[in-house]
Amino acid sequence: MAAVHRRMRAVGVVACVMWCGLAATARADLPPAMDRAPAEALGIVAMRDIGQFHKRLSEYMGLFDLEADTPPLSVIGELVATPGLARGGSAMVVILPPTAGESDPRPVLVAPVSDTAMFAKSLNAQGQGIMTATLDGDEVFMKDAGGGYVVMSPDRGTVESFTLGVNSAAAMKQSMGATAARASDQADLVIYLTPGLVNQGLEAVGEGMVEQVGAMSMVLGPGAAPGAAMSRASEMMSERFEADGQSMVITMSADDVGLVIDFVSQFKEGTPSARMFQVDGSARSLASALPDGKMLLAGSVDTSSPMLKSWMREMKADEAGALAMLAPMFDSMEKIDGMAMSIGVPPAGLMGGMLTAGTTFIKTADPKGLTNAVKTAMEGMNGRAAGGGKIAASYKAGAVDAGGVKVDSWQFTVPMDNMDPNAMGAQQMQMMLFGMAPGPSGLIGATDKGVVMSIGSNSQLMGSAMQAAAGGKGMTGQDAFASVHSRLQDDRIFEVYVGVKGIIDMIGPFMAMQTGGAPIRTPEKLAPVALAGTMSGGAMGIRLVMPRDVLLLLGDVTAEMRGAMDDMDDDMDGDMDDQDAGPPRF
Contact call for residues 354 and 365 (beta carbons, < 8 A):
no
Q: How confident is the model at residue 93 (pLDDT cuts 50, 70, 90)?
A: very high
Calculate the CA dihedral of residues 425, 431, 432, 437 and round it to 10 degrees: 150
Q: How confident is the model at residue 431 (pLDDT cuts 50, 70, 90)?
A: confident
Output the pLDDT for position 569.
57
Q: Encode pLDDT of 17-34 as tens digits.
A: 343 444 444 456 999 999
Q: Rounded to 5 degrees, what are φ and ψ at 148?
A: 85, 25
Output the pLDDT for position 74.
84
Residues 6+ apart with CB under 8 A from 470: 447, 448, 449
Mean pLDDT of the 324-342 span: 71
State the DSSP H helix or E strand holding residue 301, giving kind and residue range, or none if neither.
strand 295-302
**Given CA atoms 54, 58, 59, 60 in this order, what sign does their dihedral have?**
positive
Output the pLDDT for position 238.
67
Output the pLDDT for position 501.
92
Q: Is residue 287's pLDDT more than 70?
A: yes
Output the pLDDT for position 158.
96
Q: Encode pLDDT of 439-475 as tens digits.
A: 788 999 999 999 999 988 889 999 999 999 988 778 9
Calculate the CA dihedral of residues 570, 572, 576, 579 and round it to 10 degrees: 120
**Given CA atoms 257, 263, 269, 272 in this order, what sign does their dihedral have?**
negative
pLDDT above 90 covers a percentage of the chain that reads: 47
Mean pLDDT (the chain) is 81
Output the pLDDT for position 515.
62
Q: Encode pLDDT of 373-425 as tens digits.
A: 889 888 888 888 776 678 888 999 999 999 899 999 999 887 776 777 776 77
Output the pLDDT for position 67.
66
* Cα–Cα distance for residue pair 478/525, rounded to 1 Å: 9
Residue 415 DSSP class: -
Output the pLDDT for position 333.
66
Give, in order, the Cα–Cα distances in Å from 346 to each of 288, 289, 501, 523: 21, 20, 13, 20
If you write DSSP's letter for every residue of 191-230 in order, what string do you get? EEE-HHHHHHHHHHHHHHHHHHHHHHHHHHGGG-HHHHHH
Mean pLDDT of the 172-198 span: 92
Is the pLDDT higher at 22 or at 519?
519
Output the pLDDT for position 26.
46
Long-range contacts of 480-484 (CB under 8 A, 24+ apart): 480/525, 480/526, 480/527, 480/528, 480/547, 481/287, 481/527, 481/528, 483/257, 483/527, 483/547, 484/257, 484/258, 484/527, 484/528, 484/529, 484/530, 484/545, 484/547
Contact call for residues 499 and 294 (beta carbons, < 8 A):
yes
Mean pLDDT of the 95-115 span: 92
pLDDT above 70 covers a percentage of the chain that reads: 75
Task: Identify the weakest region by mean pLDDT among 288-292, 452-456, 573-577.
Answer: 573-577
Mean pLDDT of the 100-126 span: 93
State the DSSP H helix or E strand holding residue 368, giving kind and residue range, or none if neither.
helix 367-381
Is the pLDDT higher at 272 or at 330?
272
Mean pLDDT of the 61-68 span: 69
Q: Encode pLDDT of 195-244 as tens digits.
A: 878 766 555 544 454 454 444 444 434 444 444 554 555 566 667 778 89
Pairing of strands 494-498, 450-455: unpaired
Q: How confident is the model at residue 186 (pLDDT cuts 50, 70, 90)?
A: confident
Task: Identify the weakest region by mean pLDDT among 109-113, 297-301, 562-566.
Answer: 562-566
Mean pLDDT of the 500-509 span: 84
Residues 6+ apart with CB under 8 A from 305: 279, 281, 493
Q: Indicate the SS3 state at residue 407.
A: strand
Q: Rounded to 5 degrees, what are φ and ψ at 317?
A: -60, -20
Task: Identify the weakest region by mean pLDDT among 73-82, 236-245, 501-510.
Answer: 236-245
Q: Is residue 12's pLDDT more than 60?
A: no
Q: What is the pTM of this model?
A: 0.81
Task: Identify the weakest region by mean pLDDT among 5-19, 124-138, 467-481.
Answer: 5-19
Task: Identify the weakest region by mean pLDDT among 66-75, 116-125, 558-567.
Answer: 558-567
